Amino acid sequence: MTGRPPLAEALDLEPHPEGGWYRQTWVSPVSVTLDDGRVRPTATLIYFLLPAGECSAWHRVASDELWLAHAGAVTLELGGSGETPGRATEEVVDAVTPQVLVPAGTWQRTLPDSRDALVSCLVSPGFDFADFELAP
């Protein structure tokens, strides 16, 4: 990445460890206790900007993740839930399919189309970097 893109500047987005740019925009005021005793908000929401020509790294989170399209389109490559990403299937998040669910524990990476893509990601139970894993 060579500097913050104009839309990232306008939305006050920061670099995301998986690639792209993000900012948390909402955290549910209601909490839930997970089976292992940890407490999480019931849901969190972020903006995620993926500039044209970039892709995110393979990663997974421990919660369901709902992708919501705003501008442009992204292709989500889903690589199963094994120890490492497996054979990928694809889901497009765009104006035609503006919502796509990535189930908890599913390996994923994101590719934009020929334009910058802005989406939101709603995570439930709420996102915590302790539940975020980059592929080896």
Using one digit for the tens of pLDDT, what is the confidence trace for 35-56? 999 999 999 999 999 999 999 9
Say which CATH number the domain at 82 has: 2.60.120.10
Residue 120 lies in a domain: yes
Q: Provide the whole-model pTM.
A: 0.93
Supply 110's token pair. Answer: 């994101």
Range of the domain at 122: 19-32+41-134
Residue 1 lies in a domain: no
**At 113, phi and psi to the nearest 5?**
-80, -150
Supply 60's token pair. Answer: 């997974």
Contacts of 83 (CB under 8 A, 6+ apart): none
Total domain count, the chain: 1
DSSP characters for 71-136?
Answer: ES-EEEEE--SSSS--S-EEEEESSSS-EEEE-TT--EEEEE-SS-EEEEEEEESPP-GGGEEE--
Using one digit for the tens of pLDDT, what is the confidence trace for 106-134? 999 999 889 999 999 999 999 999 999 99
Residue 90 lies in a domain: yes
Residue 59 lies in a domain: yes
Residue 3 lies in a domain: no
Residue 105 lies in a domain: yes
